[in-house]
Amino acid sequence: MKKQRKQKKIIKDRDSEDWCFECKDGGKLMICDYRDCLKVYHPECVGKGDSFMENEEPWNCNRHSCLICQNTAKFYCVCCPNAVCGCCIGEVEFAPVKGKKGFCDNCLELLLLAEQNALGITKRGKKGKKTASEEKVDFNGRETYECLFKEYWDIIKGREGLTVDNVYSADAQLKKRGCCSDSVSKAIEFIGWRSSPLIKFLTSIGKDTTKQLSQYDVESIISGYIQEKNLFHPKKKRRILCEPMLYSLFRRKSVDNNQIYSLLDIHFVANLEQSEDDESEDEDEIILGEKKNKNITAAFKKQKTLSSNRTCQEEEVNLTVKESGFASMVAENIKLVYLRKSLVERLLKQPESFDCKVLGSFVRTKTDLTDYQRHTSHQLLQVRGIKKNASEVLLQVSNMPIDLNIAMLSDCDFTK
């Protein structure tokens, strides 16, 4: 039996592909152990270390499990590991074209651009400019993902028995489904203060959903979950790869770390109610504005009539113009917006009013020097929560996974 397994593995290694199914590049690759799967991957592209290749532990790639529910997949994308079961196919942008083979929306967009590029066709907008999608891709640069993707497609489409007609057929499917989904859109179901998908996520990781959590609390929980599962992109460290549980929340395969808080807006019923209130206020302002305009117009006409009766010369009506509520983005104005460290320390001496004065305001803190993507020395962040214990007070700020100590705040002025 062991001899048969060894022979089968030798055959798989011999017939396997030569490019990583994730990034489409060559190099040191490991093969999927699932039955007759011939797909290979770089260890780092699937969240594994180089030492993983040395052990005998069997490993199956994501191509064999549904990206939504993790059950056995029925349909799979020809160009990437995305796969889906028969029950969940309606919940993702996926188009079957030949039996179990199909295309996900991301790969399909690249395939359309690749085929048009091969034929010398470009979609042009006004004044003959290229579309945004075409500006971003480069099918000629040998080091670009798009070029490697196109080369992979040119090789694999013959093996899979696919043609350009299948690509356009898949595009038509997704466009038709998009029209239907726009006309009959599913509203998010809310239970109490949170959405049903959020309850499902929190319950799955063992969190108590009976106690109401703030949006910042949930963001912190998700950040901890991401670190625990090591869901960071192998090359883009601020990019988060959404496995099935996060995909059920965000409906995206990847998100930026700074987007998590804003993407949670739709999962809190308080934000929904606030949105409805804002719309109502906007409507009231529009109606009030229309009434004011009518009154001004009537007054202007009346004034003009009276003046024409008195004299032939028209009298100009001076309308009072309200001063703008906006201010210039200059250092003098910016320093009026945020709380200095020294001011926060003084406010600490008034514990009864500290929370209401600091919550919602802005503070200035130094940028993490190890974060190479930041090009500024400081950043301005909004205070969204306050934690107090016996020894110190911590500020919970937007777009930062850790709590800030008062000592971490800046007391300096903006220079530019």
Helix (H/G/I), strand (E/B), else coil: 104 = strand
Pull the structure tokens for residue 71. Answer: 């059950």
Domains 1-64 and 190-269 share a fold: no
Query: Which residues are 130's β-sheet partners?
Result: 124
Helix (H/G/I), strand (E/B), else coil: 383 = strand
Q: How far apart are CA 343 and CA 348, in angstroms?
A: 9
Query: How do the pLDDT tens digits run along the chain, 416 residues long?
Result: 444 444 445 556 667 888 899 988 888 888 998 888 989 999 888 888 878 888 778 889 989 998 888 889 999 999 999 999 988 888 788 999 999 999 998 889 889 988 887 776 554 443 344 444 444 567 777 778 888 889 999 999 988 999 999 999 999 988 887 654 443 334 578 888 888 889 888 888 888 888 889 998 999 999 999 988 888 888 777 788 888 788 888 877 788 888 888 889 888 888 876 555 555 554 555 455 555 555 544 554 445 444 444 444 444 444 444 454 556 667 677 667 778 888 888 888 888 888 888 888 888 887 654 454 455 667 888 888 888 877 788 888 877 777 888 888 887 766 65
- What is the CATH architecture of 1-64? 2-Layer Sandwich (3.30)
Chain centre to alpha carbon of residue 137: 20
Chain centre to alpha carbon of residue 25: 26
Q: How far apart are CA 95 and CA 99, in angstroms?
A: 11
pLDDT at 187: 59
Q: Which of 83, 160, 147, 141 is nearest to 110 (CA)?
A: 147
Q: How far apart are CA 58 and CA 56, in angstroms?
A: 6
Which residue is it, tokens 């949105």?
275
Q: For residues 340 and 409, is the Cβ–Cβ distance under 8 A?
A: yes
Q: Which of 81, 75, 74 is nearest to 59 (CA)?
A: 81
pLDDT at 178: 64
Which residue is it, tokens 């034929």?
119
Pull the structure tokens for residue 90. Answer: 């309606």
The answer to whether the pTM exceeds 0.85 is: no
Helix (H/G/I), strand (E/B), else coil: 46 = helix
Alpha helices in 205-268 (DSSP H): 215-229, 244-250, 260-263
pLDDT at 20: 92
pLDDT at 153: 92
pLDDT at 322: 47
Read off φ and ψ for residue 382, nearest 5 degrees: -90, 135
Burial of 342 (0-12, 13-18, 19+ CB in 10 A): exposed
Q: From start to end of 62-202, where are the E strands?
A: 75-77, 83-84, 94-98, 101-104, 190-191, 194-195
**Per-residue pLDDT tens digits for 349-403:** 888 888 888 888 888 887 654 454 455 667 888 888 888 877 788 888 877 777 8
pLDDT at 320: 47
**Per-residue pLDDT tens digits for 282-297:** 455 545 555 555 554 4
Size (the chain), residues: 416
Domain positions in the chain: 1-64, 88-182, 190-269, 331-408
DSSP string of 310-349, one letter each residue: H-SSPPPP-PPPPPPS----SHHHHTTTEEPHHHHHHHTT
pLDDT at 319: 43
Sign of CA dihedral 242, 244, 245, 249: positive
pLDDT at 145: 82
Sign of CA dihedral 252, 254, 259, 261: positive
- What is the CATH architecture of 190-269? Orthogonal Bundle (1.10)
pLDDT at 3: 44
Radius of gyration over every alpha carbon of the chain, rounded to an integer in angstroms:
29
CA distances 151 to 25, 77, 115, 116, Å, are 10, 17, 12, 14
Q: For residues 105 and 79, is the Cβ–Cβ distance under 8 A?
A: no
| Beta carbons within 10 angstroms of residue 392's beta carbon | 11
CA distances 349 to 16, 355, 357, 384, Å, are 69, 12, 12, 20
Burial of 76 (0-12, 13-18, 19+ CB in 10 A): buried
pLDDT at 11: 56
